Amino acid sequence: MPKSSRNKKGKGKKNSVKGKKENLLFQSPRGMHDILPLEQPWWNKIREVSQEVSNFYNFSRIDTPILEPVEIFERGTGASTDIVEKQMFLLKSRGRDRLALRPEGTPGVMRAYVQHSLSRLGQPVKLYYFGPFFRHEQPQAGRYRQFYQVGFEILGGEDDPVYDAQTILAGYRLIEKLKIKNLTIKINSLGCKNCRSVYRKKLQDYYKKNSGKICKDCRRRASSNPLRLLDCKNENCQAIKNQAPVMLDYLCQQCRNHFRQVLEYLDDLGMPYNLDSYLVRGLDYYSRTVFEIFAENYNVSLGGGGRYDYLSEMLGARKTPLPAVGSSLGIERLIETMKAQGVNEPVRNRAKVFLIQIGKPAKKKALCLIESFRSAGIKIIESLGKDSLKSQLRLADKERVEIALILGQREVFEENIIIRDMKSGVQETVPLNKVVEEVKRRIK
């Protein structure tokens, strides 16, 4: 607001605050986006491919609530993780239940598995989900506060490495089917409770010895969550990190065998991977295999996941581990990568026919006529609110339809309709009761 328009009592200032508030009314919350009609073909494509891949690998769909008890994330994801410490959207219900907008899918799926005794079904149970997740992060490219994931989870049964390979495979094939190229998988093993605690101690000792050379966050992590030390991006910590002990050197025999077999499956499938001893994925429930999938020139992960055999115990559902492994992919990042790699926009199911109606009797007939096309499975568009031939023809042209059907007063009276070939401009009059058949023949 220009200074001159403010009065001494600050009335102008008040107005500007009000103006700002009103502007915010027409602004989606920070880091959360509308998905407008023009974007929908990309989303539909991913939904379609997710369903295809899930069907093929025999994952059944599960939908869990957007809100979950906070505790499943505190106990499962981990109280000292960034997600739980800093990023959850929290609310209290009127009954004073503590709820969170789900920041990730796995704890909710495990909760549902326990609640509905899915252990009584044939094991393992293979589930997939597709939906929105919420994290209060600093919004930037590829990082939002509401984002969508498709996830695959295999719960129960054996802790067979073949399932680790299959969850990676499902995510990888989904990305491939979207025509995203040059993928790599980063993979690591975090071992089991036994070997990891030996490694954690080694790592802690090493960092404590070097505590003068690391950042404040790392000094804190060294006592609260030592594995997260390997996530640190601070430049000053990189030299220390590069010399740090690595988990693979501390894996016990069973974990080593398990990991070797996962890698052998990936080799057999010809899937490109790199061992990455710094990959820890930050969440408490992971054990053994962890992985992330990247596309060339896109430096954030498209997806990731891992084994989480301890999650059901951490949630208090069992006294022994329940084998489980999963992966999830970020939909916005998939779309961004498709666009960046020049993948063609998925074709919309475009209508090839436009119905033009002129005059009241024609408008009255139009709705029923559209129904005949619907029954015949032919998509037809119209602009029923418009009356003039010119404006409707202009719209038909804009929609790039092949055929315009013109229904005027005279046609209604004579029970005819005009079929106009939009390319040649040639028009032909046909009986109204033959029009569906004739259009079907022409657009085949």
Give the interface with ligand AMP as residue ranges (CB under 6 A): 104, 135, 137, 142-144, 147, 149, 301-304, 328-330, 332-333
> 3-state class of 352 per DSSP?
coil
CA distance 220 to 211: 10
Residue 308 vs 310, nearer CB to ligand AMP: 308
Minimum distance between the CB of residue 201 and ligand AMP, rounded to whole angstroms?
26
DSSP symbols for 95-146: T--EEEE-S-SHHHHHHHHHHTTGGGSSSSEEEEEEEEEE-----BTTB-SE
* Angle, vertex CA 103, rays to CA 187 and CA 31, nearest 5: 105
Residue 321 vs 330, nearer CB to ligand AMP: 330
State the helix-helix crossing angle for 193-209 and 216-224, rounded to 10 degrees. 150
Minimum distance between the CB of residue 441 and ligand AMP, rounded to whole angstroms?
47
Minimum distance between the CB of residue 375 and ligand AMP, rounded to whole angstroms?
42
CA distance 100 to 143: 19
Residue 100 vs 329, nearer CB to ligand AMP: 329
Residue 240 vs 329, nearer CB to ligand AMP: 329
Minimum distance between the CB of residue 124 and ligand AMP, rounded to whole angstroms?
21
Minimum distance between the CB of residue 143 and ligand AMP, rounded to whole angstroms?
4
Q: How many CB atoms lie within 10 A of CB 162?
A: 12
CA distance 388 to 380: 19
- Nearest-CB residue to ligand AMP? 330
Residue 287 vs 357, nearer CB to ligand AMP: 287
Residue 31 vs 361, nearer CB to ligand AMP: 31
Minimum distance between the CB of residue 31 and ligand AMP, rounded to whole angstroms?
8
Minimum distance between the CB of residue 320 and ligand AMP, rounded to whole angstroms?
26
Total count of residues recorded for the chain: 444
Q: What is the dihedral of CA 397, 399, 402, 403, to 10 degrees?
A: -70
Q: Where are the alpha helices (DSSP H) in 30-105?
A: 40-57, 70-72, 82-86
Residue 289 vs 328, nearer CB to ligand AMP: 328
